[in-house]
A = this chain, B = another copy of it.
């Protein structure tokens, strides 16, 4: 059950690592990897496995019905709240200190304990905002 137990898994993980700052739909991933030595079902099965291992995060875009996946297997992604730009689709991490502040404030005022792994803040990133 190693990270690279099979060639297919390696292909998928390397692809995901390369695109770790985007949330991509499973269908899109499968399509992109169509030329490679990995089948559609292997893509889906490995995504599910990686999700269970915590290396991949499953999310969804509002207005779409596809399952979106994002690689969060690298250190810098762990325990971070994500910011997702609805214009360019890129994903950013919220600074730890800020996230702590937000989490604390929510807990005190609302009694709500935020789950950083699942929380995605939607909006416009600085770049897209500048471009109008």
Contacts and interface: CB of A to CB of B under 8 A. Distances in A.
Contact of A119 (B94, B114, B123): B123
A42 interface: no
A30 interface: no
Interface size class of A (residues with CB under 8 A): 35 or more
B122 A110 contact: no
Interface string A104-132: 01100111111100111111111001000
Interface string A76-112: 0000000101100000101100100110011001111
B109 A98 contact: yes
A106 to B, nearest CB: 7
Contacts of A102: 102, 105
Interface of A: 51, 57-63, 65-67, 83, 85-86, 92, 94-95, 98, 101-102, 105-106, 109-115, 118-126, 129
